[in-house]
Each structure stands twice: as structure tokens, then as C-alpha cells.
């Protein structure tokens, strides 16, 4: 079995990017991403919300099923995720095989907003040190960068289109 722990961080408001996004707008975007993942991450082709509930802590929990493109290293199959919202800065996506994805909005000391995605991808059928493991690791690093950057771009586009205020 092989497990890949991968993280990628990007500035949300890079030089020249307009409009400047607020933390509230980015949070709204991440909440939308839970329900419409395919609009944010090109590696996801389909997203269906199965249920939602408010936990005793007051946090929202959404259970969904997503389908990845086969080139994402996940076989193109459907994956069930339980997504817990920790407003206003973090959503944790727990998968049935123990893999997790965490989307984080944070700030630098100067107030600059950052977005980080942290992945723990578990592959129980892939031997550590194998060629398949090397291919998957490379694919996961590429997907991490793409997921963060495309999510920021989509949130900004939705603000421009008036879908996020």
C-alpha cells in the first residue's frame, strides 16, 4: 500500500488579478465547490449531493459522490465523500478508503489571503516503490496545483458573473 501526502498553496489575490477576493467570497466559493465540484476541478466530471445535515457542533456535513476522470489516477470511478464545513476557513473531505482532502483559506501576517489544499491519497492496491506509485505521485502533485489554481479562478469568475457577492 502506498499513501501520498501532498499539499499546494497559492496566493488568492495575485498581482493583476481582479477583482480582489475577500475571505467571505472565497468561503462562499468553497461551499459551492462541495455541491458543484466539476465547475471547480477539471479532474472531476460529476458531483451528486446524497445528503446533508447540521452536526451537533453546528458544522454542516454534506455527503456527496464525485466521479474523477480516469487520467486523474483514480480510475474514473465514483468516490463517496463526507464533507465537513468548518466556517469560515476549512472544509474536510473524508473518503471511504481513509483518504482525505482539506481545503484551507488562511492569511499571511500581512493579511494576504492564501488557499491550500492538503491531500492524503491512499492506494491500498499499489505497491510502494513501484512504477505505478511513481506515476500516481506525479499525477497527484499536478492535480493539487491544478485544483487550487482552478478553484481560485472559478471563484473569481463567479464573483465577476455575480454568482458570488
At 52-76, the pLDDT tens digits run: 999 999 999 999 999 988 765 555 6
Cα separation of 3 and 128, whole Å? 8
Domain ranges of the chain: 2-158
Q: pTM, whole model, 2 decimals?
A: 0.90
Task: Over range 155-163, report the average pLDDT.
Answer: 97
Which pLDDT score is estimated for 85? Answer: 99
Look at phi and psi of residue 46 and say left if phi exceeds 0, alpha if psi is from -120 to 50, else beta.
beta
Which pLDDT score is estimated for 37? Answer: 93
Percent of the chain exceeding pLDDT 70 equals 96
For residue 20, the Cα-to-chain-centroid distance in whole angstroms is 21
Per DSSP, helices labelled H in 76-130 are: none
Cα separation of 89 and 152, whole Å? 14
Q: What is 2-158's CATH number?
A: 3.30.530.20
Element at 54 (helix H, strand E): strand 44-54
Amino acid at each position: 500500500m502506498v499513501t501520498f501526502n501532498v499539499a499546494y498553496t497559492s496566493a488568492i489575490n495575485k498581482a493583476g488579478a481582479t477583482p480582489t477576493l475577500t475571505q467571505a467570497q472565497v468561503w462562499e466559493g468553497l461551499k459551492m465547490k462541495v455541491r458543484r465540484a466539476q465547475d471547480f476541478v477539471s479532474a472531476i466530471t460529476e458531483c451528486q449531493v446524497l445528503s446533508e445535515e447540521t452536526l451537533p457542533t453546528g458544522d454542516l456535513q454534506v455527503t456527496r459522490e464525485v466521479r474523477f476522470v480516469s487520467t486523474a489516477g483514480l480510475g474514473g470511478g465514483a468516490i463517496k465523500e463526507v464533507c465537513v464545513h468548518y466556517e469560515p476557513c476549512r472544509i474536510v473531505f473524508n473518503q471511504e478508503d481513509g483518504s482525505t482532502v482539506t481545503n484551507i483559506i488562511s492569511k499571511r501576517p500581512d493579511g494576504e489571503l492564501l488557499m491550500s489544499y492538503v491531500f492524503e491519497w491512499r492506494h491500498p492496491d499499489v505497491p510502494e516503490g513501484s512504477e505505478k506509485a511513481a506515476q500516481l505521485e506525479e499525477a497527484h502533485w499536478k492535480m493539487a496545483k491544478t485544483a487550487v489554481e482552478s478553484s481560485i479562478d472559478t471563484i473569481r469568475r463567479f464573483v465577476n458573473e455575480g454568482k458570488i457577492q
